[in-house]
């Protein structure tokens, strides 16, 4: 993959809870409900805004699941793009500070 580093952070605008191995997420924008499988849950929980996505894939996903790094990175990229589009994950090419995630929670007004 030729793309640069991507950083991901959980939006504070959501509600979320582990349910078994999966994670249930409710969007604060429109109360839409999402469910993340076990692999996506690992990425979600590691999305601290400061760990690059490729490092999450290498140290978490590939370490816990039987998957090649390329395959895992491809799936992870698609996942974070989709979650980013729904506003439940913040995606950036620079580290994401906690304050930025907090500002993203402000709605309406």
Partner 1 sequence: MGSLMSEMGVKALELGIPLSVQLDLTYRCNERCVHCYLDHHDHGEMTLAEIKHLLDEMAEAGVLFLTLSGGEIFLRKDFFEILEYARELTFAVRLKTNAILVRKREAERLCELGVENIQISIYSHRPEVHDAITLVPGSLKRSIAAIRFLKSYGLKTTIANVLMLQNMQDYPQVRELARELDVEFTIDPTITPKMDGDRAILNLNIEREALHRVFHDEALVGDVEEFCRPAAAADEDEMDSLPCSAGHTACYVSPYGDVYPCVQFPLPTGNVRRQRFVDIWRDSEQMNEVRSIRMRDLPTCSGCGHMTGCTRCPGLAFMEGDMRGPSIQDCEKSFARTGVPSKNLMAKRPAGAVGLVQIQGVRIAVAGAVSA
Residues forming the site for partner 1 (CB under 8 A):
12-20, 22, 24, 26, 28, 31-35, 105-109
Helices 69-85 and 38-46, interaxial angle, to 10°?
A: 70
Nearest distance from C-beta of residue 69 to partner 1, angstroms? 30
Give SS3 for 88. coil
Nearest distance from C-beta of residue 31 to partner 1, angstroms? 6
Give SS3 for 7. strand
Tokens of 90: 């913040």
Which residue lies nearer to partner 1 by CB, 74 or 103? 103
Nearest distance from C-beta of residue 23 to partner 1, angstroms? 10
Chain length of the chain: 109
Which residue lies nearer to partner 1 by CB, 67 or 104? 104
């Amino acid at each position: 993959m030729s793309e640069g580093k991507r950083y991901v952070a959980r939006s504070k605008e959501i509600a979320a809870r582990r349910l078994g191995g999966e994670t249930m997420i409710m969007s604060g924008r429109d109360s839409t409900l999402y469910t993340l499988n076990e692999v996506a849950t690992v990425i979600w929980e590691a999305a601290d805004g400061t760990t690059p996505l490729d490092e999450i894939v290498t140290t978490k996903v590939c370490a816990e699941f039987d998957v090649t790094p390329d395959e895992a990175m491809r799936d992870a990229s698609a996942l974070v793009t989709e979650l980013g589009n729904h506003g439940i994950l913040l995606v950036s090419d620079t580290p994401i500070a906690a304050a930025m995630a907090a500002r993203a929670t402000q709605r309406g007004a």
